[in-house]
Structure 1
Amino acid sequence: MRIKVINPNTTQSMTDKIGACARAAARPGTEVIAVSPAMGPVSIESHYDEALATPGLLAEIAAGEAAGVDAYLIACFGDPGLKAARELARGPVLGIAEAAMHAASFIGSRFTVVTTLARTMGQAHHLAEAYGMARFCARVRACELPVLELEDPRSNARARIVDECRRALDEDGCDVLVLGCAGMADLCRSLSEELGVPVIDGVSAGVTLLESLVSLGLKTSKRGELAHPLPKPMTGLMQPFALGSGAR
């Protein structure tokens, strides 16, 4: 089985870390391909960033389809371009927020999301509502930590995340913590051991859920909303994204 993990930002060091975490979670025999798009923002911290990251993400989905990839994971907690990616892909596509929230609901009664910047908290709330997870989501918290500081060994990023996690456990009535950024994926196990509660990152959860879907022989339904996009001309910078008349 081949799973393509797409970090929608273009910071290669983060993609390398995400790929290592995904491979650590994968079963023997699962090939994990971790990539960043050839174009897009270096980090995703706004709706604007998400919009500009989506074309590069979709190009990676299209390349995966040509290469026979079985499933895809969108490794950004905003789950950008998720439905568009499902339209293009034959196999299943998951976003890490979707995967993490559902996994958290299986093992606890209430979860808190600990994310990076406060400006992204609204998106996490919107996703919890869209995925039917709002009743499980006790709170969304932010560390006021820019995404790229997670890649800086001189930053005190881990300490700030731990502090916010402790506040969540003390104040929110939660019994599970969800890490709200793919760049935090490498902290999951150590935080769980330190804090004494399940800590979920969507990269590991997403890979294992995709393995289950592929093992069950399940693919993205092409009836109705997630049917392959209709072929049509594109203009300007979008010309390379035009789908041919032979589209499925």
Structure 2
Amino acid sequence: MKIKIINPNTTLEMTESISAAGRSVARQGTEIVAVSPSFGPASIESYYDEFLCAPGVIEEVRLGDREGYDAYIVACYGDPGLHAAREVTLRPVIGIAEASLYTASILAARFSIVTVIPRIKTMLEEMVENYGFGRKVVNVRTTPLYVLDVEKDPEGALETLREEARRAVAEDDAEAILLGCAGFAEFADELEGELGIPVLDGVVCAVKLAEAVVELSKTTSKSKTYRFPERKTFAGAFARFGAETAHAEAAE
């Protein structure tokens, strides 16, 4: 089994840490390959960043189909480009936020997300509602951390997360903590040991879900919503996406 983890930002140091998290839980025989698109933002911390990283995610999925991957993971906690990526492949595509939310709902009745800078709060609240977890996510807690701060000062980032996670337990009555950034993966086990409740990293959750779906021999439904995009012309810098649409339609 081959799983391609797509870090939608272009910071390769972060991609390497995401890869390590995925490999740490993959079963024997599962090959994990983590990549970043060749174009896009260095980090994703706004609607603007999410919008501009999506074409890179789509391109990596299409490349992956040619390379024989069995599943894809979008490794950014906003799950940018997730639904569009599902339209261009038969293979399962899993977002790390979606994976952590479904996993947490099995383990706890109520949980909080601890994430990066305050402007992310509304974005994640909207995502939680769209996924149908509004009643279970009791709070989206932000921190002063930017996405790339973890690479610059991991000890400082861990201490910031520790303080906010403790507040979530004390003030939100959270029964589990979801780490709202792919770069936080390395901290999950230590925080769980300290807090005594499940602390979930979305990358790890997504790898295990991807393995399960592939082993069930299930593919993305093409009956309606996630059908391959209709054939049409794209102009300018997006011209190649139109050509790829025609290719996918023919494959269907």
Q: Same fold (TM over 0.5)?
A: yes
Is the Cα contact below 8 Å between 1:231 and 1:247 reproduced in 2? no
- Supply the AA of the counterpart residue of 1:179: L
Match of 1:31 in 2: 31
Match of 1:119 in 2: 119
Unpaired segments of 5 or more residues in structure 1? none
What are the equivalent positions in structure 2 for 1:36-75 lying under 5 Å apart? 36-75=36-75
Distance 1:133 1:238, change over 3 A: same
Match of 1:229 in 2: 229
Percent of residue pairs identical: 45
Match of 1:176 in 2: 176
Structure 1: distance between partners of 2:159 and 2:216: 40
Structure 2: distance between partners of 1:164 and 1:65: 40
Number of equivalenced pairs: 248
Match of 1:238 in 2: 238
Structure 2: distance between partners of 1:217 and 1:154: 39
Task: Give the drift of 1:244.
Answer: 2.4
Structure 1: distance between partners of 2:154 and 2:55: 33
Is the Cα contact below 8 Å between 1:149 and 1:155 reproduced in 2? no
Structure 1: distance between partners of 2:12 and 2:127: 26
Is the Cα contact below 8 Å between 1:228 and 1:247 reproduced in 2? no
Name the SS of the counterpart of 1:144 in structure 2.
coil
Match of 1:7 in 2: 7
Task: Give the drift of 1:125.
Answer: 1.0
Name the SS of the counterpart of 1:178 in structure 2.
strand
Normalising by structure 1, we get a TM-score of 0.98
Normalising by structure 2, we get a TM-score of 0.96
Is the Cα contact below 8 Å between 1:111 and 1:177 reproduced in 2? yes
Structure 2: distance between partners of 1:5 and 1:194: 29
Structure 2: distance between partners of 1:211 and 1:30: 8
Deviations 1:149-195 (A, max 9, x none): 11103761111110000110110011000000000011111111121
Task: Give the drift of 1:219.
Answer: 0.5
Deviations 1:15-63 (A, max 9, x none): 0000000011111100111000000000000000001101111110000
Structure 1: distance between partners of 2:133 and 2:2: 29
What are the equivalent positions in structure 2 for 1:71-82 lying under 5 Å apart? 71-82=71-82
Is the Cα contact below 8 Å between 1:121 and 1:141 reproduced in 2? yes
Show structure 1 runs of 4+ deviating over 3 A: none
Unpaired segments of 5 or more residues in structure 2? none
Name the SS of the counterpart of 2:66 in structure 1.
helix
Name the SS of the counterpart of 2:148 in structure 1.
helix
Is the Cα contact below 8 Å between 1:11 and 1:42 reproduced in 2? yes
- Supply the AA of the counterpart residue of 1:244: A
What is the Cα-based RMSD across aligned positions, in Å?
1.1
Deviations 1:88-147 (A, max 9, x none): 111111111100011011001101000001111111111111111111101000112111
Match of 2:83 in 1: 83
